[in-house]
């Protein structure tokens, strides 16, 4: 099969299209013909070697962390899936490689593609969807009526996060530019801060949670908008606590400014 590979780590290392062996499938695996795949920041971090102390990959390496496609073969103990099923998913961190024509994944790592989504749309969901779901449900335990600030609402993670938070009944504030205003408004954001003209930390107060996708100064200032006991989850950095893997990003969950609220990695 053809795949997009890298031969070594490095920011300037080029991608190459090369012939690779067809993936072998185990008894609980599913072989999927990939119709669409997406690129995420984690792919570039892996390519540049920033994750090599956490993730041990061999070369040539096929990148790619989420996909959609059609099942072509199933393992001997797979009963859930059959050839012809349209699916989407996110392979486990040690089995990435969606930038190829086929991929073998564990049967638990895929789900039926929604019929109202194209393959391209479905392929854009798994990584950001799992990241956001874990942040809101497992860590923040976001509740109906709570207030949450979601940074960079018009970005890939932000657009998903706004919609999920609204589905969970939260009041959503988000930061965006003029270009992103109409998009985040259409997704249901209740309060939109133009970060080029306003300082969110001066406009917001008493928030139950912050979902940080920026890190750095934005993360540090986010503590000012929290009510006592409020929580922050960051997928971009941490100010003074401990880093944990969150679907191959970094996260922290903090209660006010008192330290770690809780963490659980997958």
Q: Hey, where are the domains in the chain?
A: 2-122, 127-255
pLDDT digits (tens, 9 = 90+) for 58-92: 999 999 999 999 999 999 999 999 999 999 999 99
End-to-end Cα separation, the chain, in angstroms: 30
pLDDT of residue 243: 37
Q: Which of 204, 232, 205 is nearest to 220 (CA)?
A: 232
CA distance 150 to 159: 9
Task: Judge whether 254 and 228 are in contact, CB under 8 Å.
Answer: no
Q: What is the pTM of this model?
A: 0.83
Q: Decide whether 2-122 matches 127-255 in CATH topology.
A: no
14 pLDDT exceeds 50? yes
pLDDT of residue 237: 61
Tell me if residue 16 falls in helix, strand or coil.
strand
pLDDT of residue 55: 87
pLDDT digits (tens, 9 = 90+) for 193-248: 999 999 999 999 999 999 999 988 999 999 999 999 999 999 886 444 443 333 33
Q: In the 3-class helix/strand/coil scheme, how is 234-265 assigned residue by residue?
A: ECCCCCCCCCEEECCEEECEEECCCCECCCCC
What letter would DSSP give residue 115? T
254 pLDDT exceeds 90? no
What rounded mean pLDDT belongs to the chain?
Answer: 89
Pick among 3.50.50.60, 1.10.3720.10, 3.40.50.720, 3.40.50.620: CATH of 127-255: 3.40.50.720
pLDDT of residue 257: 34
pLDDT digits (tens, 9 = 90+) for 36-58: 999 998 999 999 999 888 888 99
10 pLDDT exceeds 80? yes
CA distance 87 to 38: 15
Domain 2-122: CATH superfamily is Medium-chain alcohol dehydrogenases, catalytic domain (3.90.180.10)
pLDDT digits (tens, 9 = 90+) for 102-145: 999 999 999 999 999 999 999 999 999 999 999 999 999 999 99
């Amino acid at each position: 099969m053809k795949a997009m590979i890298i031969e070594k780590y490095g920011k300037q290392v080029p991608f190459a299209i090369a012939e690779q062996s067809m993936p072998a499938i185990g008894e609980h695996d599913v072989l999927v013909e990939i119709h669409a795949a997406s690129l995420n920041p984690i792919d570039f971090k892996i390519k540049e070697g920033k994750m090599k102390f956490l993730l041990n990959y061999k070369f040539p390496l096929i990148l790619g962390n989420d996909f959609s496609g059609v099942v072509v073969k199933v393992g001997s103990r797979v009963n859930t899936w059959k050839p012809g099923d349209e699916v989407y998913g996110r392979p486990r961190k040690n089995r990435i490689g969606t930038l190829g024509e086929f991929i073998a994944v564990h049967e638990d790592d895929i789900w039926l593609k929604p019929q109202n989504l194209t393959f391209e749309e479905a392929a854009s969901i798994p990584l950001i969807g799992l990241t956001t779901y874990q942040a809101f449900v497992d860590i923040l335990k976001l509740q109906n009526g709570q207030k949450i600030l979601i940074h960079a609402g018009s970005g890939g993670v932000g657009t998903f996060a706004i919609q999920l938070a609204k589905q969970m009944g939260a009041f959503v504030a988000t930061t965006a530019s003029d270009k992103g205003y109409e998009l985040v408004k259409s997704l249901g954001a209740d309060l939109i801060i133009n970060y080029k003209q306003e300082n969110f930390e001066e406009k917001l107060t008493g928030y139950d949670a912050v979902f940080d996708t920026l890190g750095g100064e934005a993360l540090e200032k986010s503590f000012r908008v929290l009510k006592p006991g409020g929580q922050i989850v960051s997928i971009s950095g941490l100010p003074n606590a401990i880093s944990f893997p969150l679907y191959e990003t970094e996260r922290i969950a903090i209660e006010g400014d008192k330290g770690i609220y809780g963490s659980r990695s997958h």
